[in-house]
Structure 1
Amino acid sequence: MEENYHKEHLACHNCDKQLVACRYIVKEEHPYCIPCYQQLFAHNCDECGKPIGPDFKDLSYKDRHWHEFCFKCCGCQKSLVDQPFASKNDKIYCSDCHDNNFAARCDGCGEPFRGGMKKFEYKGKQWHDWCFVCSECNQPIGNKSFIPRDERVICVPCYESKYAQRCSKCGDVINKGGISYKNTPWHRECFTCTNCNKQLAGEKFTSKEEHPYCGDCYGELFAKRCCRCTKPITGIGGTKFISFEERHWHSDCFNCYKCDASMVGRGFLMNGEDIVCPECGRS
């Protein structure tokens, strides 16, 4: 405001009231008496509805205004001056009242999630950091891996200790890639021939007294032997064989000793340890 007013010219810009020896406020370089200033420029308090005059601090939030003494939580009436607060449905709340009335709640303890709290979510439920715990040991899971079981969450050490399948050979937990044979679990690399330790996963094998053997070892250790070629008759892979008087032949080896004709499904004669067709037997 220009400072060249004569005393008799210092008057309210709105009502012309003389301002000599009176309090006044300058707005956009014009003097106003207190009543006119409040009427024209002061904000009305959102709480009490009265003007917020020059003698009061004007607190504002989103185009709303309050006297300092009216800026209170609508729940507990605690002053919010210099305090954190939140707005809901055009009302202001202290942090505690807002969280208690409107914040999401933990599915573990039922208490609200307050500002800054870490939240864990799983299958539409949510927990505080300290409430998201293993159902076996009750230790917080945090960012560690867990395994769901029957609507519960279990940390990996507890799951492995109580529920995980273990290899029948080495006893360690089978995390992936295991196989089952006769309802017994194995690591793929542990499912080996009992005799030579050859890996049997994806290979043809058989068993003896519940122990697995590769075809070669089973044949060498347990199989009957062909009377002609002396090789084992394992039966693995659908190999056919013929038995007669406690003697055994591969189907492909059951031939006439003299003419080599197959005797499978035909009559034959014994010539000592050998078999012969009827024609060769008569010659």
Structure 2
Amino acid sequence: MDEVDNLLSDLTSQMSSVGIAGYQGKCTLCKQNIINKGTYVEASGLRWHKPCFVCSDCKADLTQDGYYELNKKLYCKTHYVERSCDKCATCNQPISDQILTALGGQYHPECFKCVECQSGLHGKTYFGEAFKSYCEPCYHKKFAPKCAACSKDIIAAGENSFCVRAFDNRYHSECYKCVVCSVPFSNDEGKGAIQHKGQLYCKTHYQTVSDS
């Protein structure tokens, strides 16, 4: 009914305006009569008094810099962007140009940074953990397991990428060796690791330390 009532109201208003000299229709914003040419702005098939042709948010004059329409309302460029564009997951500001999508969010490319060191991640290798972004060094530092022998990170790539699990610990493959003679352990009979007081020994040197 509201739409019908509005149509009837507009029709009644138009009929009552018949005969008014210079009548140009109704202003879309204030609904008052527009009298004489040159006193109004026409856009999107509608008319406004020039003073009424303003941004719906900031009331800036739209006759000079142009207008943008959204949901049947007029906006300046700033507020059109603010209302229509995605918001950056970091700064919460509208993204009007290049958009970067990662970890389930949208970012300005310059806002997509490592949460630890704040280095930019655009175009670089990054890792996500709990919806947070990390550069490769910070990710390994924070999340990579440590080798029980050398205490360094066991990372997913590079020369130290392989690890051995033993005695509820992890070791770089090259660190999985006797602490005395540095002979690597293997699955061959008599060549496996023996743990003693947190250290790994071959069979020969385990007998030495265990007897002492």
TM-score bucket of the superposed structures, by smaller chain: 0.5 to 0.7
The separation in 1 between residues aligned to 2:168 and 2:194, in whole angstroms, is 16
Shift of 1:247: 2.2
Q: Where do 1:69-218 residues align within 5 Å?
A: 97=21, 99-100=22-23, 106-108=27-29, 109=31, 111-112=33-34, 114-122=36-44, 124-158=45-79, 166-170=87-91, 172-208=93-129, 210-218=131-139
The separation in 2 between residues aligned to 1:145 and 1:247, in whole angstroms, is 67
The separation in 2 between residues aligned to 1:245 and 1:168, in whole angstroms, is 43
Shift of 1:216: 1.1
Give the greater-gyration-radius structure (CA): 1
Q: Which residue of 1 aligns with 2:153?
A: 232
Q: Which residue of 2 aligns with 1:29?
A: none
Which of the two has greater helix per residue? 2
The separation in 1 between residues aligned to 2:70 and 2:39, in whole angstroms, is 27
Shift of 1:126: 3.9
**Structure 2 residue matching 1:269: 3-state secondary structure:** coil
* CA contact 2:149–2:171 (8 Å) conserved in 1: yes
Match for 1:188: what amino acid?
Answer: P
* CA contact 2:150–2:175 (8 Å) conserved in 1: no
Give aligned pairs, total. 171
**Structure 2 residue matching 1:224: 3-state secondary structure:** coil
Q: Which residue of 2 aligns with 1:32?
A: none
2:170 to 209, 224, 248: 248
The separation in 1 between residues aligned to 2:167 and 2:89, in whole angstroms, is 41
Alpha carbons of 1:217 and 1:139: their partners in 2 closer, same or farther (altered >3 Å)?
closer
Alpha carbons of 1:189 and 1:114: their partners in 2 closer, same or farther (altered >3 Å)?
same
Shift of 1:217: 1.5
1:161-194 CA distances to partner (integer Å, 9 max, x unpaired)? Answer: 7776554544554332243444554321122112
Shift of 1:121: 1.5
Give the unaligned 5+ runs of structure 2: 1-17, 178-182, 203-212
The separation in 2 between residues aligned to 1:111 and 1:240, in whole angstroms, is 80
* CA contact 1:113–1:128 (8 Å) conserved in 2: no
Shift of 1:275: 10
Q: Under a length normalisation based on structure 1, what TM-score does the superposition of the two structures give?
A: 0.43
Shift of 1:269: 3.5
**Structure 1 residue matching 2:110: 3-state secondary structure:** helix
The separation in 2 between residues aligned to 1:113 and 1:245, in whole angstroms, is 91
Shift of 1:224: 0.8
What RMSD, in angstroms, separates the aligned Cα atoms of the two structures? Answer: 4.5
Match for 1:223: what amino acid?
Answer: A
**Structure 2 residue matching 1:133: 3-state secondary structure:** coil
Shift of 1:154: 2.6
* CA contact 1:225–1:232 (8 Å) conserved in 2: yes
Q: Which residue of 2 aligns with 1:270?
A: 193
* CA contact 1:107–1:125 (8 Å) conserved in 2: yes
* CA contact 1:218–1:234 (8 Å) conserved in 2: no
Give the unaligned 5+ runs of structure 1: 1-74, 77-95, 277-283
